[in-house]
Chain A
Amino acid sequence: MNFWSDPINSVYESWLLAFTGWGLDATLSQVIIYILGILILITFAMVIDILLVWVERKVVARFQGRLGPNRIGPFGLFQPIPDVIKLIIKEDTTPANADKFVYNLAPVLSLASVLFLWAVVPLAVNIFGVDLNIALLYMIATGAFGTLSIIMAGWSSNNKYALLGAYRQVASMISFEIPMVVSLLIPAIITGTLSMKTITEYQVNNFWFFLVSPLGALLFLIAAIAELGRSPFDLNEGESEIVSGYHIEYSGMKFGLFYAGEMLHAFTFGGLLAVLFFGGWHGPFSSEFPLLGVLYFVAKAMFGYWIIMWIKYTVPRIRIDHMLLFNWKFLTPLAFALLIVTALVHPLLKDQPQWIYILGMFLSNLLLGWVTIEILRGRSAKERAAVEPVAAVGHH
């Protein structure tokens, strides 16, 4: 087996041979190699995470007409290093009335819940942690730990702002989980599997799913932003009212873990958007050279991350009641409507030629989007008429 065509398995087998050659038990050496592999994967994720600090600071600066970090290294590229050193040598204060164990566990769980995701994300044709046949559900399950860490942080800090921020964040996370799960069902319907590896391979062999379900990709993106608690859904940390939300009492490296977790989470959701709707690692020569596939994957994930940043630094924050209403009265019904449309159209067209299938699915999405916009227009006209009766009369 060649390293360039199948790097993971060739390394795995040569190491397994070496370890068993030293007289180690086969299972034990498998466990050791797995742990080493996991450490490499997590380190890869964390190196990207540290680079993201620079990306985020540089991009927000450009959005705001500033230069951003530019002193340390070329283009300020080494800025994250002093940032991390500073976080490590900061004094870590704990509120006197905090629930110590839960308080310390929360940031660890917060970052861990994001790292867990990397076990199932396919980075290239044969570079992935594990091919779970329920990877999409696994992804939702790791989100449960993220939610848990937020409520633990908010409650154990013994601070009203922290608890209020945690409530808001958890309420929005659980609400937006419904449209997210429903948008996940669309690739599942088309491919007939919940494995991310198979979903990517299907897209490599056929077409990228944003062609057949642009509305699904949009729903996933909106729900992902809400899950991340980024603007316009960042009312969990509305600094003008509750200062910084659930991590208000955290300082030093514990705050750093929340920060790193949030940033890596955004990047990972960019990657998942790529996996589910934009072909994952698919690109020219990606099947022959898996390492090239990793590059494509990171580029696509970075693109998704950039869209999330773009929205974050453009759109103002909305109110908690508006946000929950937006989810339950608009996004959830729309997601279920899209699911029904997909379930009706997909079996009808799946045996037709590919271009008819793509066109039919795309048009059904377009039609649903158009109907939604018309309904919204009608409703908003009605509401405007109720608020400004004089103006409405004046128009006619």
Chain B
Amino acid sequence: MHNTWLYVGLFLIVGIIFPVIPLVLSALVAPRKPNPIKQSTYECGLETVGESQVQFKAQYYVFALVFLIFDVETVFLFPWAVSLNIQPYFVVVEGILFISILIAGLSYTWRKGMLEWA
């Protein structure tokens, strides 16, 4: 009867198209008089010095790495959490073992000072 994924697929398509409508509307009625000053990079009145797409602290990358590990971990935890009700008590311990191994990793990262903004 009702097709779940058909609905989700259509929702994604309509959801992407819908925000385009005000943009099109705006493009039709808004004035368009570009000039070099308007199109320059905004930097509090100063000229931009050097390349704009500069590189930033590598610290962001470390946080992204730690996040990635924990993100994959939570993927395993979702099925575990859902089936907790229909399982004997020791599966709780299995899940806790799983979590604590990764918490050990987090505390290693912490102790080595990689979570500091150095």
Interface of A toward B, CB cutoff 8 Å: 30-31, 34-35, 38-39, 42, 46, 87-97, 104, 107-109, 111-112, 115-116, 119, 129-132, 136-138, 155, 158-161, 163-164, 167, 171, 174-175, 177-178, 181-182, 185, 188-189, 192-194, 243, 248-249, 252-254, 256-257, 320-321, 324-325, 328-329, 332-333, 336, 339-340, 343-344, 346-348, 350
Contacts and interface: CB of A to CB of B under 8 A. Distances in A.
A174 B84 contact: no
A104 B16 CA distance: 13
Interface string B6-31: 11101110111011101101110111
B54 A163 contact: yes
A350 B115 contact: no
B100 to A, nearest CB: 8
A94 B19 CA distance: 18
Interface of B: 2-4, 6-8, 10-12, 14-16, 18-20, 22-23, 25-27, 29-34, 36, 38-44, 48, 52-54, 56, 60, 63-64, 66-67, 70-71, 74, 77-78, 81-86, 89, 92, 95-96, 99, 103, 106, 110, 115-117
Given A97-B41, A324-B117, A332-B106, A164 B56 contact: yes
B63 A160 contact: no
B117 A321 contact: yes
A89 B27 CA distance: 8
Top 8 nearest A-B pairs (CB, nearest first) are A321-B117, A253-B26, A192-B85, A96-B39, A111-B19, A115-B15, A119-B11, A174-B67
Given A92-B26, A188-B81, A112 B10 contact: no
A94 B26 CA distance: 14
B84 A119 contact: no
A93 B38 contact: yes
B15 A96 contact: no
Contacts of A336: 99, 103
Nearest to B117: A321
Contacts of A160: 43, 48, 52, 54
A163 B30 CA distance: 27
B5 to A, nearest CB: 9
A119 B7 contact: yes
B13 to A, nearest CB: 9
Contacts of B66: 328
Nearest to A324: B63
Contacts, number: 206
A132 B8 contact: yes
Nearest to A12: B2
A106 to B, nearest CB: 11
B14 A39 contact: yes
A346 B40 contact: no
Given A97-B41, A344-B92, 18 more contacts: A38-B7, A89-B30, A90-B26, A93-B39, A96-B40, A112-B18, A130-B11, A161-B42, A163-B52, A164-B56, A175-B63, A324-B63, A324-B115, A325-B117, A329-B115, A343-B95, A347-B84, A348-B89
Contacts of A194: 78, 82
Contacts of A93: 34, 38-39
B22 A257 contact: yes
A207 to B, nearest CB: 16
Contact of A243 (B20, B32, B39, B42): B42
B99 A38 contact: no
A336 B66 CA distance: 15
Contact of A159 (B43, B74, B92, B110): B43
A106 B82 CA distance: 35
